[in-house]
Amino acid sequence: MPTTRGAKLLRNPGFVIGATIVGLAAIIAILAPWIVPYDPFVIDLDRRLVPPSFMEGGDPRNFLGTDQLGRDYFSRLIYGTRISMVIGVLTVITSGLIGITMGVLGGFYGGKIDDAVVFAITTRLSIPAVLVALAVAALRGSSFLLVVLVLGFLLWDRFAVVARSTTMQIRNLDYVSAAWCAGASQWWVLSREVLPNIATHLAVVATLEMALAILLEAALSFLGLGVPPPLPSWGLMISEAKEYMFFSPWVIMIPGAALFILVLGVNFLGDALRDMMGTDLSR
């Protein structure tokens, strides 16, 4: 069974594209210090806004040019991959822990517990996430950790929705009943019977949430309340460069395109996983 699934995935062009993009991004994120040609934080005010080497006026020393402070754009872009990937993964872990716990408990026990979980999901959905994230960042002062925590505490809703509905579907199936009859504890049934069987559905949600977290981090950083400077978050790079975008559009095109491609790759991956399961979880 796993081999046929694997073979099917490899024939899916969406999966191949998505896995390539995300895999490359992961490698770049891990190896960033060894890939970059220059220190991404070193300022050189004599060489500001040098266009990319393939454009008119470019300098072969800086493949993607330099930013408004003369920092090497390619090096900053590489480090930006690291920020986006780490934020994406950490947010998914945080929101996954919250959402899956709530969803599984609600779906498994039903009754009052489920009512409470549904109420929490409804409340969460009615709160404008971006606005609250901005307000919290303004009150507490923005930092890398704060962005992860705020996004993690705001993006658990879909995990909870999917974990709840899939748990409900399987809680009365024969193998779960069999485990009960065999005298398994609640903890055993939840962790050994329920969780593994809803894991693929949760993997799809994880990709959707990772894509969303990466986009939201960029948006928050763009508004100046996400990852603080001088860290080269792609959103922050776009924000810092936007004063110059009318004269040299490439300063916003490059980080924006990187962001778009990474998020597209994550979405392709999720879509392929969903196709494999033949279910539709899209809102």
Partner 1 sequence: MLRFFLRRFAVAVAVALTVLTLAFLLTRVSGDLAISIAGPNATAEDVEAIRIAYGLNRPLWVQYFDWLGRAVQGDFGESYFFRDRVSNLIATRMPVTLTLGFVGLAVALVVSLPLGILAAVREGSWVDRLVGLVAMIGQAMPSFWLGLVLMIVFGLQLAWLPISGNDEWQGYIMPGVVLAFSAIPSLTRLTRSGMIEALASDYIRTARAKGLTRLSILVKHGFRNAAIPVVSIAAVQLGFMLGGSVVIETIFALHGVGYLAWESISKNDFPVVQAVVLVLAIIYIGLTLLADLLNAVLDPRLRTA
Count of residues touching partner 1 (by CB under 8 A)? 43
Residue 86 binds partner 1, judged by CB under 8 A: no
Rounded to 5°, angle at Cα 146 from 210 and 119 = 65
Residue 168 binds partner 1, judged by CB under 8 A: no
Residue 283 binds partner 1, judged by CB under 8 A: yes
- The string of DSSP codes covering 117-160 is HHHHHHHHHHS-HHHHHHHHHHHH---HHHHHHHHHHHS-HHHH
Which position among 50, 77, 83, 215 is part of the footprint of partner 1 (CB under 8 A)?
215
* Bond from prior residue into 230 cis (ω within 30 degrees of 0): yes
Residue 263 binds partner 1, judged by CB under 8 A: yes
Of 232 and 235, the one with the shorter C-beta distance to partner 1 is: 235
- The string of DSSP codes covering 248-279 is -THHHHHHHHHHHHHHHHHHHHHHHHHHHHT-
Beta bridge partners of 66: 72
Which position among 97, 116, 132, 277 is part of the footprint of partner 1 (CB under 8 A)?
132
CB of 125 to partner 1, least distance (A): 7
Phi and psi angles of residue 142, each rounded to the nearest 5 degrees, phi first: -80, 145
Write out the residues near partner 1 by the rule CB under 8 A. 119, 122-123, 125-132, 134-136, 138-140, 211, 215, 218-219, 222-223, 225, 235, 238, 242, 245-246, 249, 252-253, 256, 259-260, 263-264, 267-268, 271, 280, 282-283
